[in-house]
Amino acid sequence: MIDSTIISRILSVHFDQHHGTAYWLDKEQQLGIDVQKTIRSTSDFHLLGPMDVEQLRTRPLTDFIPRSFHDRLPEMLLSETGGTTGPPCRRVFTRQEFQAAFIRPWMNAVKKQHFPLNGMWLFVGPGGPHIISQAAREMARATGSLEPFSVDCDVRWFRGQDRESLGFRLYLEHVLEQAMNIISSQHIDVLFTTPILLTALAKKMTKQQRLQIAGIHTGGMAQKAELSERLHELFAAAVILPGYGNSLFGVAFEQAPPGQSEESVFCVDDPALWLQLVPITDTKDINLATVLPEKQTGRVVVHRLDPSFLLINMIERDSGHYPAGSNRRKLQNIGPVEHKVVSKGGSVY
């Protein structure tokens, strides 16, 4: 949950009639409510309805930034999503918000899991408009390291290809060849990449090169228990630290290494962020008013309250559940939404 004092403070910025945010002021007018008087806690968020993703994709970015922040645009960081479910969404972070969303949670996890410090990093992932490359540089520096050696990988192009196609195989080989050039010529201690690229890279590396890796951070996709176990076999000397997040809300990290065959538990320790779980339905209608109890699988809805950018009721494609005793600040068993199978009249749909 997000503290009511944070809610009040952030809503006063975005719903200020003269200096607020065009998107949210338009929504307030459409709903016919006084948001600052009506929305007092997270239990009221459903009254705002779902975040309009199409507008987030097509409307001018400055319509989502409070007018009071428009003179601060030169100091902001621009972030775009990977475009997995359609054209990319965009947002900005101030430097302070970027630290809170990505770097502070990272350093908390580094301390808890004794992730190696002062090593040489290799980042294999997207550059360009994706904030993850900026996060990789700051995460490395925060651990006392030089910014990472890096290999750019266009994930938007990757996702549009058939994995059996010649184009896919050639591009993957191109990415891996660049990564191996760095691994073969530099003493790399830490890898940061996706589980799929990491698995492919491991096949190119010698056993000695894999044993040299002391730390691995994975992101960009769900990492199930079987894959985690395989990665621990391949990189036996490494602390492997997965993250769950995206370009819009930041990242949550694994609180502790899971036991054998157990799924990771991700800890949300950012006071501006709440990952709500709502019932999974077979229709487009999402019950935003419901917060599921612990251990019950639901769909992830993101709320992130920053002064420069407000996300409320952003419906994600992922599902998960709150572990017992988590006080809804932890998520487990995260993966793509699996819709219920409903039987009717002998048919399944």
Tally the C-alpha atoms within 13 A of residue 64's C-alpha that lie toward its C-beta.
24
Sorted by sequence, the CB contacts under 8 Å of residue 96 that are 6+ apart come out as none
Q: Are 31 and 46 in contact (CB under 8 A)?
A: no
> Which pLDDT value is given to residue 342?
27
Return the number of other C-beta atoms located less than 10 Å from residue 36's C-beta: 16
Plot region of 322 (φ>0 → left; ψ -120 to 50 → alpha; else → beta) = beta
Handedness of CA 31, 35, 37, 39 (dihedral sign): positive
Tokens at 50, concatenated: 């779902």
pLDDT 10s per residue in the chain (349 long)?
899 999 999 999 999 999 999 999 999 999 999 999 999 999 999 999 999 999 999 999 999 999 999 999 999 999 998 776 778 899 999 999 999 999 999 999 999 999 999 999 999 999 888 899 999 999 999 999 999 999 999 888 877 788 888 888 999 999 999 999 999 999 999 999 999 899 999 999 999 999 999 999 998 766 777 888 899 999 999 999 999 999 999 999 987 888 777 888 899 989 999 999 999 987 778 999 999 999 999 999 999 999 999 999 999 989 999 998 888 888 988 888 764 422 222 222 1
For residues 183-202, one letter each, b for 16 or more C-beta atoms within 10 angstroms of the residue's C-beta and e for the rest, the string is beeeebbbbbbbbbbbebbb
Cα 80 from chain centroid?
12
Residues of the chain with CATH 3.40.50.12780: 97-264
Query: What pTM was estimated for this model as a whole?
Result: 0.92
Q: What is the DSSP secondary structure assignment for residue 14, as one 8-state letter? A: H
Using CA atoms, how far residue 29 sits from 17, 23, 63, 139, in Å, is 11, 10, 15, 41
For residues 292-331, one letter each, b for 16 or more C-beta atoms within 10 angstroms of the residue's C-beta and e for the rest, the string is beeeebbbbbbbbbbbbbbbbbbbbebbbbbbeebebbbb
**Which residue do the tokens 């008087």 mark?**
37
Tally the C-alpha atoms within 13 A of residue 128's C-alpha that lie toward its C-beta.
14
Residues comprising the chain, all counted: 349
Q: Which residues pair with 253 in a beta bridge?
A: 243, 267
Task: Round to whole Å and give the CA distance between 133 and 115.
Answer: 19
Using CA atoms, how far residue 61 sits from 56, 57, 64, 169, in Å, is 8, 9, 6, 36
Plot region of 118 (φ>0 → left; ψ -120 to 50 → alpha; else → beta) = left
Q: Which residues pair with 158 in a beta bridge?
A: none
Strand-pair category, 90-93 with 215-218: unpaired
**Which residue do the tokens 């229709």 mark?**
283
The alpha carbon torsion through 243, 246, 248, 252 (nearest 10 deg) reads -10
Task: Round to whole Å and give the CA distance between 236 and 120.
Answer: 18
Q: Which CATH number does the domain 97-264 belong to among 3.40.50.12780, 3.40.50.920, 3.30.230.10, 3.90.79.10?
A: 3.40.50.12780
Q: Look at residue 104 and give its three-state secondary structure.
A: helix
